Amino acid sequence: MKANNRDIQLKDIVFSEYPDEGGHFDRFGGMFMAETLMDPVLELAEAYKKYMKNPQFLKDMDRDLAYYVGRPSPLYYAERWSEILGGAKIYLKREDLNHTGAHKVNNTIGQALLAKYMGKKRVIAETGAGQHGVATATVAARFGMKCIVYMGEEDIRRQAINVYRMKLLGAEVISVKSGSRTLKDACNEAIRDWITNVDDTFYIFGTASGPHPYPAMVRDFQSIIGREAREQILEQEGKLPDAIVACVGGGSNAIGLFHPFLEDRNVKIYGVEAAGKGIETGQHAAPLTAEGTKPGVLHGTRTYVMSTEDGQIIETHSVSAGLDYPGVGPEHAWLKDIGRAKYVAINDEEALQGFHDLTRYEGIMPALESSHAVAYATKLAPTMSKDQTIIVNLSGRGDKDIHTVAAWEGIEI
Amino acid sequence: MNRIEKRVTACRESGRKMLIPFITAGDPDLKITLQTMQSMVKAGADMIELGIPFSDPVADGPVIQRACERALLNTVTTKQVVDIVKEFRKTDQETPIIFMGYMNPIEVMGYSKFTTLISEAGVDAVIAVDMTPEESNEYSKAMNAAGLESIYLITPTTPEERIKRIVSLAGGFVYYVSVRGVTGAAELDLNEISAKIKQIKQHTKLPVGVGFGIRDQKSATEIASVSDAVIIGSAIVRIHENLNQTPEQIPAAVSEFITGIRTALDGM
């Protein structure tokens, strides 16, 4: 294993220098893939580097982000909720207002455009909550590409509406029946598809994890969240926020918000993982927060992975399908190690309360994933003063979760 | 010479095509695994590839996935597989044993602990499916220090420049994956395989074995006509699956299958 260079102090780190050429964030990240996929992964890394300097590519992406996705998304001051909490002013970055209802589309537009420039006509994706699957099926329809989405059988049950949305968009949804039948197994199956159809297929990966270049690429596509939020808060408050908060499953919405603030050393950064039924029960999805999680290798990258002493991946638990993942993006693992970001966890019950709070106090229904960030803000805000500000990334809207919320409360719809 | 080199040299000198069967350790239990290893050697296997069960085997097709699930249902651990190798070595000092698995269990245990443990038990080489030349620096050091060979995969998508890099790190033999796909997949394209092996041989003196998609005597002899070794996995694991209810029959059934392949290879 690569030695973690503890001699480098946090203050000396230049964040824009990470990852290195091979996709490493110090000891995390890299490329751990079956050999069949190494050539396409290296080809993708080259193509990504090339097209991010191509003015036409960037122009096409900006146009779609503005007119198709509807960017910039607003930064909304949640006045009533902030007053009720009685502490810091809370701003919501409204990624829920994007086309398709979540931040996921920022990334799928970027990757689908890249697929188009690379001449790939078939795209595949994994999905947990279905948001990334919907965002992929959407852009596949937009660009006229064949689209296959892998989804765990358990998630298909939890997210029936999103499954139907994907089908309406022309995607084929394949039910994954192996392992825990959730996001990680959907990833496994998508990787197997890619190994088998390597010549014509582009894997649109949904989170800031996987082999290089995915963690950096997904981060860059999602960083529009943080770039906009930084400008918007300066415009509205005349100063940077004191804290920024986002939920972390794989961690793409979080890294998108965090990255443009990394050099602003006074901005505190909080990543909120899913504590599920409670960290102490072992039934959670919080590799960064749970003590004793070791670095391992999952889905092509070295990062903190929830596994047994023998290295078998542990089945995770969260009420929100989108956070139900035993690994985490390698940049988050690194940010935790160097102490630039703090990772905390919110359990199912607290997340549900966050869902209700925001719905009732602001008329904004957050996705259960985003509700974890909301719930943490309800703890954080009262500890801060009224002249301080927090930005919470509202990564998606909650319509898709209405059935889960109802079932949780014993209500039949 | 280490065990693999001795075996390779002996086979080369006698013109024998090497036969390397794969089984998932602990499918359905470790006692059957040990008996099956012994019966495969008697039936004419030249080396044995032992799969370390893993919860998320992304390069494997459904047959080997299910074998991993069956083994993990009995909570078979890496350490227990190592113990089976120790048992095997009590009566067989010659047949090379190759571990095949995924990186996470190795990362979690730690490279030097893993390599020391398995080398002391009598394992000769490791195929880590998701280890790449790009990430191999520390891994190679630990493998070399323990006297283990690193076997790397080369696939139809590996370009020539990359083949050179891979064979410079490889030991034992080169494992050529015959198909674009997971284990147990699809039809073999003999012309493509033959051309790729010729390309590999321009850059290494190591023998080339071919695996993925070899299932019977016909495909085995076809592959052997263009390579040094045939590696058979899913076809043997399927025998395990079919006899899951009567596991005591597995060693003999696998032996019969191996004997058939051996006879076909020797009759070429």
A409 touching chain B per CB within 8 A: no
Q: What is the ipTM of this complex?
A: 0.95
Please name the amino acid found at residue A271: G
For residue A1, which residues of chain B lie inside 8 Å, CB to CB? 107, 110-111, 138
Helices (H), ranges, A198-251: 214-222, 224-237
Which residues 151-180 of A are in CB contact (within 8 Å) with B? 178-179
* Contact assignment for A38 to B102 by CB distance below 8 Å: no
Which of the following is catalytic: B13, B27, B56, B60? B60
Look at residue A2 in the predicted model and tell me its pLDDT.
Answer: 42
Alpha carbon distances (Å) from A349 to A91, A166, A174, A274: 23, 29, 31, 11
Distance CA B107, CA B127 (A): 14
Residues of chain B neighbouring A35 (CB-CB closer than 8 A) = 132, 152-155, 157-158, 166, 177
HSE (CB half, 13 Å, CA atoms) of A213? 19
pLDDT above 70 for B167? yes
d(CA A48, CA A53): 9
Provide the 8-state DSSP code for B151. Answer: P
- Say whether the peptide bond before residue A215 is cis (omega within 30 degrees of 0): no
Residue among A386, A293, A288, A400 at smallest CA distance from A343: A288
Q: Residue A247 forms beta bridges with which residues?
A: A272
CA distance B58 to B102: 9
User: Is the separation of the CB atoms in A35 and B152 below 8 Å?
Assistant: yes
Segment-wise mean pLDDT, segments of 10 residues, chain A, 413 residues: 59 95 97 95 96 98 98 98 98 98 97 97 93 96 98 88 95 92 92 92 97 98 98 98 98 98 98 98 97 96 97 94 93 98 98 98 97 98 98 96 92 87
End-to-end CA distance of chain A: 52
Distance, CA of A275 to CA of A347 (rounded, Å)? 4
Active site residue: B27, B46, B49, B149, which one?
Answer: B49
Question: Which residues of chain B have a CB within 8 Å of the CB of A24?
Answer: none
The 3 state secondary structure assigned to B152-218 is: CEECCCCCHHHHHHHHHHCCCCEEEECCCCCCCCCCCCHHHHHHHHHHHHCCCCCCEEEECCCCCHH
Contact B263, B244 (CB under 8 A): no
Instruction: Name the percent of chain B lying above pLDDT 70.
Output: 100
Per-residue model confidence (pLDDT) at position A3: 44
Per-residue tokens: B22: 């794969």
Structure token pair of residue A17: 């220098």
- As beta bridge partners, residue A269 has A244
Q: Which of A9-13, A84-88, B130-134, B166-170 has the lowest mean pLDDT?
A: A9-13
* Residue B70: closest C-alpha in chain A: A179
Give, for A394, the enclosing helix (H) or strand (E).
strand A389-394
Residue carrying structure tokens 């989804």: A151
In angstroms, the separation between the Cα of residue A385 and the nearest Cα of chain B is 43
Nearest CA in chain B to A34: B130
In DSSP notation, A30-89 reads: -----HHHHHHHHHHHHHHHHHTT-HHHHHHHHHHIIIII-PSPPEEE-HHHHHHHTSSE
Q: What share of chain B is helix, strand, coil (3-state, %, to 5)?
A: 50, 15, 35
**B204-227 per-residue burial string, b: 16 or more CB within 10 A, e: under 16:** bebbbbbbbbbbebebbbbbbebb
CB pairs under 8 A between A and B: 125
Cα separation of B68 and B57, whole Å?
8
> Three-state DSSP class for A238?
coil
Residue A402 CB neighbour total at 10 angstroms? 14
CB atoms within 10 A of CB B36: 26
Quote the CA–CA distance of A87 and A265 in Å, as a whole number: 22
pLDDT confidence of residue A158 = 77
Beta bridge partners of A287: none
Beta strands in A153-253 (DSSP E): 172-176, 201-203, 243-247
Q: Cβ contacts (< 8 Å) between B103 and chain A: which residues? A: 32, 296-297
Picking from B65, B81, B104 by the largest number of A CB atoms within 10 A of its own CB, the best residue to mutate is: B104
Bridge partners (DSSP) listed for residue A216 = none
Whether the CB of A313 is below 8 Å from some CB of chain B: the reply is yes
**What is the per-residue pLDDT for A1?**
41
Interface probe with A: pick from B52, B54, B55, most Cβ of A within 10 Å: B55
Alpha-carbon gap: B263 to the closest alpha carbon of chain A (Å): 32
Name B127's bridge partners.
B100
Contact criterion met (CB below 8 Å) for A78 and A109: no
- Beta-carbon separation of A297 and B158 below 8 A: no
Question: Is B29 part of the annotated catalytic residue set?
Answer: no
Global pTM value: 0.96
How far apart CA B121 and CA A104 sit, in angstroms, is 49
Query: What's the token pair of residue A261?
Result: 């603030």
Cα–Cα distance, A272 to A371 (Å, whole number): 10
How far apart are alpha carbons A216 and A45 in whole angstroms? 10
Closest to A63 in 3D by CA, of A104, A103, A110: A110
Q: From chain B, pick out residues whose CB is under 8 angstroms from the CB of A40.
A: 157
A-chain CB neighbours of B156 within 8 Å are 36
Cis peptide before A72 (omega within 30 of 0): yes
* B111-121 vs B137-145: helix crossing angle, rounded to 10: 30
| DSSP codes of every residue in B12-51 | HHHTPPEEEEEEETTSS-HHHHHHHHHHHHHTT-SSEEEE
Predicted pLDDT at A5: 53
Q: What is the pLDDT of residue A6?
A: 53
Beta bridge partners of A396: A102
Task: Tell me how far apart the alpha carbons of residues A252 and A259 are, in angstroms, rounded to a whole number.
Answer: 10
